[in-house]
Amino acid sequence: MTPPTAEQLVRNIEQLVALPDACIRLNELIEDPRSSVDDIARVIIQDADLAARLLRLANSAWYGQSGRIDTVSRAVTLLGTRELADLALVTASCDLFRGIPADLFDMARFWHYSVATGVIARNMARHAGVLQPERLFVIGVLHDLGRLVILQHLTTQAREILLLARGRHELLAQSEREVLGYDHAEIGFELVRRWGLPLSIQTCLRYHHQPLEALEYRLECAQLHIAQALAGDLLWGDNDPAVASRVDPAVWELSGLSPEHALAIRSDTGGQVMELFSLLMGQGRRAGAGSG
């Protein structure tokens, strides 16, 4: 049977991977100039788990706030409405994909890699003077959502893809194209497009393997491409500095960073990755939530 196109696949499962009402409402409020901090805080408070997780994130070393943030309203005021909505999106995405067989895929390892990509991308964006570097963290965490769609909704093809890749993370996208005719980047793009997320997120998810093909947000696409390569080597490789040489020199030039600088940034991310991985997965949750 011919697999559905990326657009057909996402359309068919749209109700199964819909964003929580809180995320949808937050994005609506942010676009509404009449909304207030209290309006946004009320939406977050209605979801107790989301509120608790956002407060833990707001009080983490990642944000480095000088005083204790003990209310959602204060978190919105200090971190900003767009920032809180993006964090809500990340935390919700971590909970969307359940039921993927543990013998097929290690979900804890997947989210560890995704968080590492986000941390590295955000830190590189800060060093390169990118506007809204926090958005790169969000994009980094979300960049491989299309892979989870394949694992959850195209299980037979997913097993074939994994066999073709032979356990090598860098061969997964190529194997997906051989089996499906497209890869997880196209699926991720279709998913976040249907979610109505900003064009910057849509574009980066679509072109994170081919940043030079992007017409917009090319700097962000380049930095995401480098970040996911460095994070992948960190988790599935041997932390080899030679990974930098496998990135196209034109992508390095576009990114505004040197390989040496990016590798130095990666070496300083370990503590941040572990802290954020723990916070995003939630206190008291099983490390592999979603894998059973």
- Any idea what DSSP says for residue 245? G
Does the structure show a pLDDT above 90 at 138? yes
Angle among Cα 259, 265, 266 to the nearest 5 degrees reads 90
For 44, the token pair is 């977050």
* Residue written as token pair 């390892």: 109
For 78, the token pair is 């200090």
Length of the chain: 292
- How high is the mean pLDDT of the chain? 88
> Which pLDDT belongs to residue 286?
38
Could you tell me where in the chain the CATH 1.10.3210.10 domains are found? 98-283
- Weakest-pLDDT range from 17-21, 83-87, 183-187: 83-87
User: Which band of pLDDT confidence, cut at 50, 70 and 90, is reported for residue 284?
Assistant: very low
For 103, the token pair is 């013998």
Per residue in 46-80, pLDDT (tens digit) is 988 888 888 888 888 887 776 788 899 988 888 88
User: Alpha-carbon distance 156 to 246, whole Å?
Assistant: 31
User: Alpha-carbon distance 144 to 31, whole Å?
Assistant: 26
Does the structure show a pLDDT above 90 at 111? yes
Q: What top-level class would CATH report for the domain 98-283? A: mainly alpha
